[in-house]
Amino acid sequence: MRIGIEAQRIFRKKKHGMDMVALELIKQLQILDKVNEYFIFVNNVEDIDVLPKTSNFNIVQVKPSPYPVWEQYHLPKAVKEHQVDILHCTSNTAPISLNVPLILTLHDIIYLEKWNFTQGTSYQIVGNLYRRWNVPIVVKNAKHILTVSNFERDRITSHFKFNQNQVSTAYNGVGKHFAPITDQAELLRIKELYHLPDDYIFFLGNTDPKKNVIGVLKALSILKRKGQLKSKLLMLDINRNYLSNLMKQINDESLMDDIVFSGYVPNKDLPAIYNQASLFLYPSLRESFGIPLLEAMACGAPLITSNTSSMPEIADDAALFVDPFNANEIADAIMKLQSNDDLKKELAANGFKRVENFTWENNAKQTLEWYKNIAGQ
């Protein structure tokens, strides 16, 4: 069988959620499947060394171009040229015209929800508009749809009026390098490289409104006014002007002094950052899965996350849950966890057990079975 996988962005230098999911899936398929031939369709080859070379996996650089042009015009031509039997599109969207069966990974349908699609940066809005046009078409063309949580599966089947058997859950996994680190020299290296403070709360926020940056800032402001803000907040690759505008909205520009900015951090360096955090804060408004939850659990970082969407399904008993729309509740949870070492240890221990349920090997095995089913093998 000749299997095509759309993995447009896996070789860009600054990789994010869906890029890492596609990359980890392909790595596991390389281990599991030595029989079928694979064609990995990409847009660029900046960081090609992140994928090992194997004889039955072919990297195909499709003509670099803006994503909609690449996906709708150049990708179908490449699929036809390489005579693949099926195409797996890994990042929500797909060509609307294909000459082979399509398997679609639909991570979420957040952009189809009215509250979200007109918010964010211009880049995010354009992307949401493209998905709003594309996804309703391609989900009807797909032979099967994979998604990342039972919560999101139910959202998809309800929205599109599908039968449950048209959509399957294939949980994401977590890289094996996310683990407790005992090498003090390595921890110190990362601390110095990214200017980490001695005591910090780790928060993975960005300009996407669902990440709830403003809710976190409100919670910090509450703690600061009460004299209970004991730790710095560590944020990675985020725009300072964006943060400054949010601080003006909540009338507390002094919070900039309580935030440490480390810039973009490659995936390989993230485990040491989780390891040294006093807690990991993830009060998103809406998630289809939340891979950072697994990363934190695997590293032993105590969790605070939201009681909404997929997060209780993923974190289970390994987190302190809050209403993400309630800044006071977020602030109370931070204070509670930082003052209770026994609770921190309990959550960390539960996290180590919980994360064992999520592996990229299982994800790849499920995906490979669907390749075989769709191809009739």
- Distance between CA atoms of residues 357 and 373, nearest Å: 24
Q: What is the CA radius of gyration of the chain?
A: 21
Q: Is 47 exposed, middle or buried (0-12, 13-18, 19+ CB in 10 A)?
A: middle
Give the model confidence (pLDDT) of 303-348 as tens digits.
999 999 999 999 999 999 999 999 999 999 999 999 999 999 999 9
- Distance between CA atoms of residues 280 and 202, nearest Å: 5
Give the model confidence (pLDDT) of 63-89 as tens digits.
989 889 999 999 999 999 999 999 999
Go through the domains of the chain in sequence order and give each one's CATH number.
2-173+359-375 (3.40.50.2000), 184-357 (3.40.50.2000)
Phi then psi dihedrals of residue 107, to 5 deg: -65, -40
pLDDT of residue 47: 83
What sign does the dihedral 147-153-158-164 (CA atoms) show?
Answer: positive
Residue labelled with tokens 């703690």: 223
Give the model confidence (pLDDT) of 147-169 as tens digits.
999 999 999 999 999 988 999 99
Q: What average pLDDT score do residues 258-271 get?
A: 93
The answer to whether the beta carbons of residues 42 and 70 sit under 8 Å apart is no
- Tell me the pTM: 0.91
- Distance between CA atoms of residues 153 and 25, nearest Å: 19
Give the model's confidence band at 240: pLDDT under 50 very low, under 70 low, under 90 confident, else very high.
Answer: confident
What is the percent of the chain with per-residue pLDDT over 70, rounded to a whole number? 98
Name the amino acid, one letter, at 24: E
Closest CA to 235 of 210, 202, 190, 279: 202
- Distance between CA atoms of residues 353 and 146, nearest Å: 25
Distance set, CA 79 to CA 45, 96, 102, 264, 361 (Å): 18, 13, 11, 34, 26
Mark 185-195 as b/e (b = at least 16 C-beta within 10 Å): eebeebeeebe
Closest CA to 176 of 358, 366, 364, 363: 358
What is the dihedral angle through the alpha carbons of 94, 173, 15, 133, rounded to the nearest 10 degrees?
A: 20
The answer to whether the beta carbons of residues 240 and 261 sit under 8 Å apart is yes
Those residues with Cβ within 8 angstroms of residue 21's Cβ, 6 or more apart along the chain or in another chain: 90, 105, 107, 148, 172, 291
The pair of structure tokens assigned to 56 is: 């039955």
Give the model confidence (pLDDT) of 91-147 as tens digits.
999 999 999 999 999 999 998 986 555 566 677 788 888 999 999 999 999 999 999
- Distance between CA atoms of residues 180 and 319, nearest Å: 18
pLDDT of residue 72: 97
Closest CA to 363 of 294, 315, 302: 294
